[in-house]
Amino acid sequence: MCGIVGYVGKQQASTVVVDGLRRLEYRGYDSAGVAIVANGAIETRKKAGKLTNLEAEIIQTPLTPSHTAIGHTRWATHGAPNDVNAHPHVSEDGTIAVIHNGIIENFAYLRDELLASGVTLRSETDTEIVAHLLAAQMPASGNLADALRAVCQRLTGAFTLVAVQADTPDLVVAARRNSPLVVGRGNGENFLASDVAAFIAHTRQAIELGQDQIVEITPTSIVVTDFFGQPVDVTEYEVTWDASAAEKNGYDLFMLKEIAEQPKAVADTLIGRIDTDGKVKLDGLNLSDEYLQGIDKIIITACGTAYNSGLIAKYAIEHWTRVPCEVELASEFRYRDPILDASTLVIAISQSGETMDTLMAMRYAREQGAKVLAICNSNGSTIPRESDSVIYTIAGPEVAVASTKAFLTQIVACYLFAMYLAQVRGTAYGQPNEQIALELGRMSAKVDLVLDTSEGVRAIAKEFVNSPSVLFIGRSVGFPVALEGALKLKELAYMHAEGFAAGELKHGPIALLEDGVPVFVIVPPLGDELHDKIVSNIQEVRARGARTIVLAEEGDESINEFAHHIIRLPKCPALLQPLVSVVPLQVFACEMATVKGFDVDQPRNLAKSVTVE
């Protein structure tokens, strides 16, 4: 959710911070603000709305030159998105400024305590109380880091807190619990951010903070301790992509760029993981063959688009390995008393590695004795660090809130694991692993072929732009693709959209069909046992006056007379088809939102990484 940036060093701090916020605006764009330390005082500028509003405010009322600053883009939780509730928040005496990501769950109790002590609260936020608590703690603690340690021990919930103090102009202090925070090590300057994208233009050297840790940065030092002041070991790593990867590179939208990057993302996620004999190699998997041979159940847990990738993975895992697989919404998982033990493998899928529902689900699983395999796109983030093993997707930064290339690479990573598990257990089913590996290696080029036909999809979007509803149906792995197509349309075009298993049409959803309703149908390849059944579904849909947009492989003529529009897909095995069938649905949603005049990269009410439950 919220984007956080902190800087101390030799450059004009407000410029560095605002530039970092621009790279993080996908994390929150209800309001934005910045605080600088200069001449023994704190100055703030903050405005509701997009970051451009803050930039205009700074131009109109310039900040004093400074080498220390913190900044924030907000996704509102406590309090409406307005100027007053925007971060940073400043203590009543004006000496301390704070920004915050997350939710302080005991906020109401602490607020009442402050009000009883005579403090006047200016905002409706849970964040402001931290500024006041820090100011009250300073006389006893003597310095900002110790004060923050004391305050953090009183807070419950998930939070990243970053603070500056008026009389320590070369210091930024931050705390992390269940919310992302990364440190950037520069030359004569250091950085804090909720994502490395904020400082990648200045340094690629990063340190990810662990749970319940405090960091103090000055221009020349980085000190990390726990909430009780004890030193902790940290791991420094190098970010493998550069600043240009997080730019639009000539595209009008980040989402368009990221859709176009999918062939490369698929290819990069496969590199080095399938050898010349078609054997899967997952270096660093850290799960022994003996353990994998002994598991009797797999549970995949995830949220949103990652959940849909898990639904696709279930088909591949069960088909290739014969191990039962369940897919659980992470937000529901630990609250329903699930049955799992040491012979259960839990797969946690998260693009950011910070999705709070997924993190709490995997922690619960580990408490029950299960091992956890993370599938993640963010090196050093919390979910892979707390898992027993990890398969990283190599998608590069994904800035658009609606996920595209992360989705495809999550599917690829799940395929790789399923193939590896089949390899270890000797259970390859239907066709040998080597043949599957060969087909999977061709999928990057096939995704590229689909992108070459995207203009036709855009024309279809323009035709149906005034439709009140769009339906999606599929069978087998086409069903999760239908769910993902509907989700993308809801996220971006704010339309009613639903995905259904095509076999369920006559059990209720068929009542939604009427003249002119567009229905996307994902057709399995020719020869698949479900192919003829879904062709019958197309006829049922058309007979009720709906408009059919049919996704079918090249050479499939059986659907021609029943389809109002046909989107051709390259030939591939049925289990791999989601890698190509979902791409036109991404393009359709993007174009529909664009034609309607909506902000595709930053849809309303949504943020990229949901770091609170």
Q: Would you name the residues annotated as active-site residues?
A: 2, 608
Closest CA to 400 of 137, 191, 603: 603
Q: How far apart are CA 573 and CA 579, in angstroms?
A: 11
Q: Which of 602, 586, 568 is nearest to 461 (CA)?
A: 586
Amino acid at position 400, single letter: A
Listed in sequence order, the DSSP H helices in 428-530 are: 433-441, 443-451, 454-463, 478-493
The interaxial angle of helices 304-321 and 478-493, nearest 10 deg, is 170
- Strand, helix or coil at 106? coil
Nearest to 155 by CA among 105, 197, 229, 218: 105
Q: Which of 420, 337, 319, 439 is nearest to 375 (CA)?
A: 420
Burial class (CB in 10 A: 0-12, 13-18, 19+), 146: middle
Q: Are residues 19 and 13 in contact, defined by beta-carbon separation less than 8 angstroms?
A: no
Residue 484 CB contacts under 8 Å (≥ 6 apart), including other chains: 305, 308, 407, 499, 582, 585
Residue 582 CA to its chain's centroid (Å): 18
The per-residue DSSP string of 124-187 comes to: S-SSHHHHHHHHHHHHHH-SHHHHHHHHHTT--EEEEEEEEETT-TT-EEEEEESS--EEEE-S
Calpha distance 302→526 (Å, rounded) = 32
Is residue 297 within 8 A of residue 343, CB to CB? The reply is yes
Encode 46-85: b = buried (16+ Cβ within 10 Å), e = exposed: bbbbbbeebbebeeeeebeebbbbbbbbbbbbbbeebeeb
Q: Could you give the CA distance from residue 477 to residue 473 in angstroms, rounded to a whole number? A: 11
